[in-house]
């Protein structure tokens, strides 16, 4: 809290939850090691956090195993689990501003966005899954002989969960919500860039009554703590959100260890398609939001803006003007739309892609360089005349760089939009119902937003086609990731 007091702009918040959470206790790493978590506004250290590795993962899995095999959590009436999750949601609301402050401080996202959108979404999502807790049950099935057949939907066991840094608290909630509602226990490996908010929230979950060992949180790095979790023989299920390349690694680790089932939510290069009937001003605003939201650090970012040739020139002019108007600065200040990128690695990577865009002949309309000389701020950048084979049209940039491409007709845009190894999301902007129907059916993506973008309600499933992932999170679909189906067959004496 000392740093918070020194910085007049940061709301008071406790940054003292820095240890690992194992078996209901905050403890040091077995090695005693720590690592710094940095403020993306300055690169300064916020706090030193315990650095978990394989030995800590072993301890955390042992606690989760015991809590699953012997503890009350999978055995208590579902209604009791529901009450704990509901109390947790209440506590999130009570601590909304502190959680938002931690999120902004550790991640760099605008405080207003964290406080008014993301933290409330976490509470909402926990209530949604609390609602499912006492509505999970099996079926009876017909048999050909004199048998009574029923299915039991049982929790799968110890869930290992690995999350990224772009929405630290929301990703934490998407993962633990269904896992806990179904009666599983969890070992969570947070992203090394953003360990703080999950630790704070986990403390609240214990305050709400969660039994010790049900949720364990290990801060640390991917190749050490993350890999140990993915390859652990006592982990029954793995859920991962992150890059496609790391997704391949963890899937391999899961296969080579105990064949634990894996769900993956990976990268994207989502098309945002502006049709010829578009109201250009509205389309520009939505396409801008689809790309620039969260500093462009969204796996589903609308990072290929396809614009029909009839409205293309007007669109480019207005997209440029909108990007120039975007307010970039200290994310704790009011009215700020864009804060710094997460860290120096992402910052350099994005600037590299911008250079590649210029070198490959795209037109740099605005931006293209860092903002200021401190922290990881990048000017909102717009490229026009982008061609499909340019790196900026193919790779996930994960930054505030909009690439505008011109298209002729629906057939042309469908082919090009689908010609990517990714398939996470797509945006369609049109007033024409036939155009909307054609596109929503033809696009190979897990989500198609029509005349909207980035709508993430708890009940809406999210996940990817192709190399954007396996399985779905949120909604009813995520429950099956955390349940086993047991068929029970008994003879009928008097059929």
What are the residues binding ligand ADP (CB under 6 A)? 162-164, 189, 191-192, 221-223, 226-227, 230, 242-243, 246, 249-250
Q: Based on CB atoms, which residue is closest to ligand ADP, 96 or 161? A: 161
Of all residues in this chain, which one has the CB nearest to ligand ADP in the complex?
222
| Lookup: tokens for 364 | 């740099």
How far apart CA 97 and CA 457 sit, in angstroms, is 21
The residue whose two tokens read 């600065």 is 329
Please indicate whether residue 359 is annotated as part of the active site.
no
List the one residue out of 314, 329, 326, 333 whose CA is nearest residue 381: 326
In the complex with ligand ADP, which residue's Cβ is closer, 251 or 364? 251
Q: Which of 62/249 has CB closer to ligand ADP?
A: 249
Least separation in angstroms between CB 64 and ligand ADP: 17
- Structure token digits, residue 234: 């006592």
153 vs 349, beta carbon nearer ligand ADP: 349
Q: How far is the CB of 190 from ligand ADP (least distance, A)?
A: 6
The residue behind tokens 């679909």 is 477
Torsion 97-99-101-104 (CA) sign:
negative
Minimum CB distance to ligand ADP smaller for 136 or for 249: 249
Among 378, 324, 386, which Cα is nearest to 346's?
A: 378
DSSP string, 326-363: --BS-TTSTT--B---S-HHHHHHHHHHHHHHHHTT-E
Whichever of 155 and 220 has its CB closer to ligand ADP, that residue is 220
CB of 316 to ligand ADP, least distance (A): 30
Q: Which of 265, 365, 396, 473 is catalytic?
A: 265
Q: How far is the CB of 230 from ligand ADP (least distance, A)?
A: 5
Q: Tell me the residue ranges of DSSP E strands in 317-462.
A: 363-366, 381-384, 401-407, 425-429, 447-450
In this structure, are strands 425-429 and 447-450 parallel, antiparallel, or unpaired? parallel
Distance CA 143, CA 127 (A): 38
Say if residues 104 and 332 touch (Cβ distance below 8 Å): yes
Q: How far is the CB of 331 from ligand ADP (least distance, A)?
A: 19
Closest separation in Å from C-beta 193 to ligand ADP: 7
Nearest distance from residue 221's CB to ligand ADP, in Å?
6
Q: Quick one: which of 308, 303, 260 has its CA closest to 470?
A: 260
CA dist 116 to 102, 123, 194, 287, 297, Å? 14, 12, 20, 22, 19
Q: How far apart are CA 60 and CA 216, in angstroms?
A: 6
Residue 398 or 453: the one with the smaller Cβ distance to ligand ADP is: 398
Residues recognised as catalytic: 265
């Amino acid at each position: 809290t000392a740093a918070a007091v020194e910085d007049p702009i940061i709301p008071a918040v406790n940054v003292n939850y820095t240890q690992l959470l194992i078996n209901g206790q905050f403890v040091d790493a077995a090695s005693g090691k720590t690592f710094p978590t940095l403020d993306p506004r300055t690169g300064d250290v916020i706090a030193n956090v315990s650095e978990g590795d394989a030995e800590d993962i072993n301890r955390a899995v042992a606690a989760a195993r015991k809590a699953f095999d012997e503890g009350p959590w999978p055995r208590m009436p579902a209604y009791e689990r529901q009450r704990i999750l509901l109390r947790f949601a209440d506590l999130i609301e009570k601590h909304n501003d502190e959680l938002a402050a931690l999120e902004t401080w550790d991640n760099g996202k605008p405080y207003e966005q964290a406080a008014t959108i993301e933290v409330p979404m976490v509470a909402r999502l926990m209530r949604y899954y609390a609602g499912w807790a006492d509505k999970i049950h099996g079926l009876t099935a017909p048999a050909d002989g004199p048998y009574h057949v029923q299915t039991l939907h049982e929790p799968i066991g110890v869930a290992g969960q690995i999350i990224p840094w772009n929405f630290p608290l929301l990703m934490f909630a998407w993962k633990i919500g269904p896992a806990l509602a179904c009666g599983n226990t969890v070992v969570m490996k947070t992203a090394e860039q953003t360990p703080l908010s999950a630790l704070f929230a986990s403390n609240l979950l214990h305050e709400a009554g969660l039994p010790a060992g049900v949720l364990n949180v290990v801060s640390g790095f991917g190749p050490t703590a993350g890999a140990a979790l993915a390859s652990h023989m006592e982990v029954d299920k793995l859920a991962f959100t992150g890059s496609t390349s790391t997704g391949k690694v963890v899937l391999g680790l899961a296969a080579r260890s105990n064949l634990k089932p894996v769900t993956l939510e990976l990268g994207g290069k989502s098309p945002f398609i502006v049709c010829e009937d578009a109201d250009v001003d509205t389309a520009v605003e939505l396409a801008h939001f689809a790309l620039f939201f969260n500093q462009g650090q969204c796996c589903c970012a609308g990072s290929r803006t396809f614009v029909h040739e009839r409205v293309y020139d007007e669109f480019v002019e207005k997209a440029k003007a909108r990007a120039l108007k975007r307010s970039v600065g200290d994310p704790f200040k009011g009215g700020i739309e864009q804060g710094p990128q997460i860290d120096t690695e992402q910052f350099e990577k994005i600037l590299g892609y911008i250079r590649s865009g210029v070198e490959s002949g795209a037109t740099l309309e605005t931006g293209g360089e860092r903002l200021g000389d401190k922290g990881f701020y990048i000017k909102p950048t717009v490229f026009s005349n982008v061609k499909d084979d340019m790196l900026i049209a193919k790779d996930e940039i994960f930054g505030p760089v909009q690439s505008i491409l011109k298209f002729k007709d629906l057939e042309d845009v469908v082919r090009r939009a689908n010609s990517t190894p990714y398939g996470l999301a797509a945006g369609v902007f049109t007033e024409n119902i036939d155009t909307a129907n054609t596109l929503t059916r033809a696009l190979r993506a897990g989500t198609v937003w029509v005349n909207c973008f980035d709508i993430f309600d708890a009940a809406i499933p999210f996940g990817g086609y192709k190399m954007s992932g396996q399985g779905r999170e949120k909604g009813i679909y995520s429950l099956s990731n955390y349940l086993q189906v047991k068929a029970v067959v008994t003879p009928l004496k008097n059929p």
